[in-house]
Amino acid sequence: MAGSGFGTLFRVTTWGESHGYGIGAVVDGCPAGLPMDEEYIQQYLDRRKPGGRAFSTPRREEDKVRILSGCFEGRTTGTPISLMIENKDQHSADYGELANAWRPGHADFGFDSKYGFRDYRGGGRSSGRETAARVAAGAIAARMLSEKGIHVQAWVSAIGPYICDASRFDPDEIMRNPFAMPDADAAREAEAYLTRLREEQDSTGSEVTCIVKGLPAGIGEPVFDKLDARLAQAVFSIGAVKAVEIGDGKAVVSSRGSENNDPFRVQDGRVVCTSNHAGGILGGISTGADILLRASFKPTPSIFREQKTVTKDLKETDLSIRGRHDPVIGPRAAVVVEMMTALTVADLYLMAETGRLDQI
Amino acid sequence: MAGSGFGTLFRVTTWGESHGYGIGAVVDGCPAGLPMDEEYIQQYLDRRKPGGRAFSTPRREEDKVRILSGCFEGRTTGTPISLMIENKDQHSADYGELANAWRPGHADFGFDSKYGFRDYRGGGRSSGRETAARVAAGAIAARMLSEKGIHVQAWVSAIGPYICDASRFDPDEIMRNPFAMPDADAAREAEAYLTRLREEQDSTGSEVTCIVKGLPAGIGEPVFDKLDARLAQAVFSIGAVKAVEIGDGKAVVSSRGSENNDPFRVQDGRVVCTSNHAGGILGGISTGADILLRASFKPTPSIFREQKTVTKDLKETDLSIRGRHDPVIGPRAAVVVEMMTALTVADLYLMAETGRLDQI
Amino acid sequence: MAGSGFGTLFRVTTWGESHGYGIGAVVDGCPAGLPMDEEYIQQYLDRRKPGGRAFSTPRREEDKVRILSGCFEGRTTGTPISLMIENKDQHSADYGELANAWRPGHADFGFDSKYGFRDYRGGGRSSGRETAARVAAGAIAARMLSEKGIHVQAWVSAIGPYICDASRFDPDEIMRNPFAMPDADAAREAEAYLTRLREEQDSTGSEVTCIVKGLPAGIGEPVFDKLDARLAQAVFSIGAVKAVEIGDGKAVVSSRGSENNDPFRVQDGRVVCTSNHAGGILGGISTGADILLRASFKPTPSIFREQKTVTKDLKETDLSIRGRHDPVIGPRAAVVVEMMTALTVADLYLMAETGRLDQI
Amino acid sequence: MAGSGFGTLFRVTTWGESHGYGIGAVVDGCPAGLPMDEEYIQQYLDRRKPGGRAFSTPRREEDKVRILSGCFEGRTTGTPISLMIENKDQHSADYGELANAWRPGHADFGFDSKYGFRDYRGGGRSSGRETAARVAAGAIAARMLSEKGIHVQAWVSAIGPYICDASRFDPDEIMRNPFAMPDADAAREAEAYLTRLREEQDSTGSEVTCIVKGLPAGIGEPVFDKLDARLAQAVFSIGAVKAVEIGDGKAVVSSRGSENNDPFRVQDGRVVCTSNHAGGILGGISTGADILLRASFKPTPSIFREQKTVTKDLKETDLSIRGRHDPVIGPRAAVVVEMMTALTVADLYLMAETGRLDQI
């Protein structure tokens, strides 16, 4: 189980490299009876698609998903759902020299150290392309959650120094601008910044924020499978993530208990928190408040500038990476964060179904 | 598997509540032949012990660990190692009223939502006391790693606004001052700050930093069981953690690729990175550089000030928490971060043993 | 995870050797709210107890179970239930020479090959004593099942050539005679046979039959976690089992489809099978009919006769095993089969709770 | 994780139904560097293929396997190996009436009870066709084992009352006759018997025997993941298996310890057993002797004779199954037993790699 599977009850296993036949995922444990078709999944994949947006790689991946099993007459049957996306438009030639020199900021050196050799075309298994399989699988989790009134949404909250302003938050903007930012002004500034970076053959970091609405209290297991612990694993399993925060996140270090504790009150006969510093999770278990999560993405490591590196025969060299690369990761990764969140919540939601004798 | 187990090959399962008979852990999968005795484990538990340090709770837990199985003639046998720590000096009476009102910032409300009822004495399973079992188990992982030349160390890098200065880093200071801080000046400032907070019946957040030295390149699995993803789950599974960062962490958002990529060079016939923004992990796999990890801990939620909350019969009320509580979590939690890191690295280290045909 | 854990949702981890401090089990995933106390568990342990019955080893193990965690005010809390049985009355001296020569029919040689050394006292981890921990854990599963109207019972159906006759089946006999046989005549014959074997310093094989009543249709997962597949693993994990059969078992080889297929009919508005060759399982999923399972136990390998074997320094030798050993395994193992069946069914019962969208 | 995955380190996940787009498997955890191509896998699939042999269904499944990922330049890369076999030559129309009436001896009723509805075409997920995916995955395990000098082989040892005679055992016969029987005489008798059964619109049970040669001592985990326990799960997970035996199997019930214990001797400086009643496993761990396993298969449940059953609206009815069905399961299932054995042994072989400190 070399780590290509995630989840206990709602379990996804992904496969595939950027330059082989294709990529895919098998979802085992999706409950029977969920309405499902390829169109539903495709809309999530389209949000990840490059080429549809300015400032993302011109490579035209069609990313058409096919459901190969597990659905019958428009509904899931409870058996494994196999999803496949064929690879198109591959230019392996572009990657030829990467067989010899390890790209800085990439997994190449680690793979060679681990396995002795690797599929060097386009990053192979460590390519961002692998995340398309997760998005396809995550769409099924998102559908299951939405049937239960639980909704997950992610967006880009910062690109380099340009940070979305909460006061200008417009949910429709997320799908409208090419950066998945909910603040049109920030998106405009980010655009100018990215143009400059392109010219400078450089790239920038970014931040993705994700929210889960409608999750009832009581989801998450108390110790190692805390909701926040599993979310952190899920989101950190996306390449390029270097930090995950829940609720106030890193700001808690300089906070005080009297500020940070969210008071409980009663509203319409339900227990609510009147603030949400905790991001909806206490002791690893949901409180019924919105789940708030942020992920910090490092700058795209593939930059056109010359970089110092080493070849397989341990000679120092300078490497210029060619090919097609986005100067920022967040805009295409936002839906990946959203889908990894959906997969995690779906799994722990099912797990919570078996926690009480009076409910089984 | 309600989440009380962690790890695939080096697997720990913890049990116990703060006010029952005791707490414990079962370690399954520790290789046979590792030297082990209770004294070795005890030294780690002593670092977590309250009462030994100023500004930590005066409750005198002895926390004496016993090895109940899995060792014979001073070595591990390959069979499960059962560890137990009896609970002493419990004052359940102190916790009586907590049966009725949910403490803000605590897991109480989530547990009641999830299970219908809970052991309300001292937080029950969600008590920080559960982490003593992890420390005991982690000590075994740390011993296994040290036999392979891998060393893990954690310390407190910030208490509220008081941050350790890298230029004053003194490793011996970590064991010397009551705050596990490697900077004696910062420790003095933190002490004054905590005195003030005590008077104000308040608490503060803190930050723990952890480093792994000597880990070879090639450890970590490429997709969901990335080294950083598993570390994030491990550290977020410690109550009160609200952010985990690897390498530059959150700072990558405003960084550029040209700064953030660590160049590869050759040194003494080995591949090295000349900087370490990545914190020793690329694509989820170790590069041979030091692993760098930071965890942000929220302020202790148990404060003596009155707080607004709700009772089980949904009446709004004010709650004053009594009992013994540290005004900051980091100093006792540092060894917990260290041990969760050791458990994670030990597990993925064993996993990597089976990755190549020429090595099995 | 060196195989000391079993189950996905209702998960048991056992620990301990025959001659260490004690043995135990941690049950993770038992739903909250189940009535539970030590007396309930003890009655199952007492059925496994030696010394209480003629023809079982005179060693007086008290086997008193303690619940160390996971229960509060007489009910399970949903958190791990830690169970411990201290070892008493150990005579390690008896086992001294076993450190050097491998006992035929025992796991000694395998352990030494695997781990390089072993705890040689009384079989260590491979001792039948380990199964007491499973019985304690299984009692919790059995209680959960009985709350749902599901009842598991096992008995000895054959000792050597003496086979219980279905026409003389008397359920009360199972608890009455020392061999757990439901046929008093067969029990008498077995007794005479065992007396003879004692004199001849020999032992005999036996068969245990287990039935599950009240299990609804639809339990079991379709492929690798078929109900029968998981039962087979569970029962084969008991040392000395050499065959597991479901329904007609081995007899199906010479059967015909027209005989073997159980016809479906409608009875009181429910679908029933008018015969039960399948033993209540088709395609790995329960049909609502009784689950029927049989396990074949080899003769006790510890016999007093001299046997040919080899010492650690590869010298051939003759070995006479001393100490206390039953001449037949089934009578004490019946409750172990029953409890492993209960653990398996409980786990798959919980798993089935998450199979349909309209039920979650 | 609804049971479509098997194995901890060498893990296979299967997907697909008999009448959808196709079936497949994902193998995660195969070590890097193993030579692999489609031809190698195909030879195992061809042994399972119907139509190539008399007395097997005339349906012409081509069963051409494709490797979609995880191999590069003729070797495995350590990343998931995705295998796919497209479904051809489906006649869903044949199965139309099966939507309404539950076939006796089949999983239909269980699936409907479990999931509320099912893909009724040809058995859907419970079809024997699913095992083709296991054979493809198992071929990779078999290749890994053969690189380590471990060889697995299975054959049909009985069809109805016609049992292969050990004295006529001819390994070449297994691939030569249409029944995979190593005894040409028994194969001839079986042929005549099957002709008669065809005329009588009936079917027969059968037995498959499997042997593992070259497995070193020390493989298998001591408690729940015993080598025999995991083999039993693996083989029982093949539909229609009703008994699994190791070594002497069911015959141990009437055996004596003095006969059943295999004496240890020294031969060419190695420890050997001079008999093999145990089938190469003691206490769940291999002894270095051949692993011997037998599986009893029930008669094919699909018979052309009219059978009593019930429709979905709970009306009693008579059902005649049409379509193409073998009158005996063993001949096509032998390679499935072989491959499930290979998958199990490969997984526990890798697991044993991490058992000793001096070997990691």
Mean pLDDT in chain A?
Answer: 93
Query: Can you tell me which residue has the tokens 């979310």?
Result: A231
Q: What are the start-end ranges of the H helices in chain B?
A: 38-48, 108-115, 130-147, 171-176, 184-199, 227-236, 257-260, 330-352
Q: Is C8 close to D1, i.e. CB distance below 8 A?
A: yes
Task: Give the Å distances, CA to CA, from B162 to B55, B195, B243.
Answer: 16, 14, 18
pLDDT class of B73 with cuts at 50, 70, 90? very high
Mutation to test the B interface, candidates D354, D356, D360, most B Cβ within 10 Å: D354
**pLDDT for the residue numbered A123:** 78
Mean pLDDT in chain B?
Answer: 93
Q: Is D15 close to A119, i.e. CB distance below 8 A?
A: no
Query: Can you tell me which residue has the tokens 């269980």?
Result: D110
CA distance A52 to A54: 7
Mutation to test the B interface, candidates A223, A235, A272, A307, most B Cβ within 10 Å: A223
CA distance C250 to C264: 23
CA distance D39 to B292: 46
pLDDT of D165 > 90? The answer is: yes
CA distance C155 to C136: 18
pLDDT of C92 > 80? The answer is: no
**pLDDT for the residue numbered B139:** 98
Q: Is B82 close to C15, i.e. CB distance below 8 A?
A: yes
Do residues C343 and C141 lie in contact, with contact meaning Cβ atoms separated by under 8 Å? Answer: yes
pLDDT tens column, C302-327: 999 999 999 999 999 999 887 778 89
Q: Is C360 close to A353, i.e. CB distance below 8 A?
A: yes
- D330-352 and D38-48 helices cross at what angle (nearest 10)? 140
Query: Can you tell me which residue has the tokens 């409300």?
Result: B109
- Closest among A224, D343, D360 to B348, alpha carbons compared: D360
pLDDT class of C52 with cuts at 50, 70, 90? very low
pLDDT tens column, D5-23: 999 999 999 999 988 899 9
**Closest approach of B33 to chain A, Cα-based (Å):** 25
- Average pLDDT in the C242-253 region? 98
pLDDT of B95 > 80? The answer is: no
**pLDDT for the residue numbered A52:** 44
**pLDDT for the residue numbered A57:** 56
Q: Report the length, in residues, of chain D.
A: 360
pLDDT of B93 > 60? The answer is: no
CA distance B321 to B311: 14
Do residues A144 and A344 lie in contact, with contact meaning Cβ atoms separated by under 8 Å? Answer: no
Do residues C275 and C289 lie in contact, with contact meaning Cβ atoms separated by under 8 Å? Answer: no
| Minimal-distance CA residue of chain B relative to C16 | B69
Do residues C278 and D105 lie in contact, with contact meaning Cβ atoms separated by under 8 Å? Answer: yes
Q: Is C222 close to A79, i.e. CB distance below 8 A?
A: yes
Name which of C2, C104, C266 is nearest D262 (Cβ-Cβ): C104
CA distance C274 to C36: 37
Percent residues over pLDDT 90 in chain B: 84
pLDDT of C126 > 90? The answer is: no
Residues 6+ positions from D220 with CB-CB distance below 8 Å: C110, C114, D226, D227, D228, D230, D281, D284, D285, D286, D348, D352
pLDDT class of C63 with cuts at 50, 70, 90? confident
**Closest approach of B37 to chain C, Cα-based (Å):** 14
CA distance D357 to B178: 36
Do residues D3 and C223 lie in contact, with contact meaning Cβ atoms separated by under 8 Å? Answer: yes
**Closest approach of A31 to chain D, Cα-based (Å):** 8
Show residues of chain A in contact with D4, CB under 8 Å: 26, 28, 79-80
pLDDT of C50 > 70? The answer is: no
CA distance A54 to C104: 74
Q: Which helix (H) or strand (E) holds A264?
A: strand A264-267
pLDDT class of C90 with cuts at 50, 70, 90? low
Q: Report the length, in residues, of chain C.
A: 360
**Closest approach of A30 to chain C, Cα-based (Å):** 7
User: Chain-centre distance of CA C211, in angstroms?
Assistant: 13
Show residues of chain D in contact with C265, CB under 8 Å: 308, 310, 316
pLDDT tens column, C162-178: 999 999 999 999 999 99
pLDDT of D52 > 50? The answer is: no
Quick one: tokens of C316?
């051939």
pLDDT tens column, A16-53: 998 889 999 999 999 999 999 999 999 999 998 864 45
B: neighbours with 3+ CB pairs under 8 Å? A, C, D
pLDDT class of C55 with cuts at 50, 70, 90? low
CA distance C88 to C122: 13
**pLDDT for the residue numbered D123:** 78
pLDDT tens column, D232-288: 999 999 999 999 999 999 999 999 999 999 999 999 999 999 999 999 999 999 999
pLDDT class of D213 with cuts at 50, 70, 90? very high
CA distance D355 to D225: 14
Show residues of chain B in contact with C118, CB under 8 Å: 72, 77
Mean pLDDT in chain D?
Answer: 93
Quick one: tokens of D304?
């052309």
**Closest approach of A80 to chain D, Cα-based (Å):** 5
**pLDDT for the residue numbered A49:** 80
Do residues A36 and A97 lie in contact, with contact meaning Cβ atoms separated by under 8 Å? Answer: no
**pLDDT for the residue numbered A90:** 64
pLDDT tens column, B119-156: 888 778 888 999 999 999 999 999 999 999 999 999 99
pLDDT of D102 > 50? The answer is: yes
Q: Which helix (H) or strand (E) holds B25?
A: strand B22-28
pLDDT tens column, B29-65: 999 999 999 999 999 999 988 644 555 555 455 789 9
| More confidently predicted of C117 and A310 | A310
User: Chain-centre distance of CA D274, in angstroms?
Assistant: 29
pLDDT tens column, A91-124: 655 566 667 899 999 999 999 999 998 888 877 8
pLDDT class of A55 with cuts at 50, 70, 90? low
Q: What is the DSSP letter of A317?
A: E
What percent helix, strand, coil does chain B show, rounded to 5?
35, 25, 40
Q: What is the DSSP letter of A183?
A: -
- Average pLDDT in the D139-153 region? 98
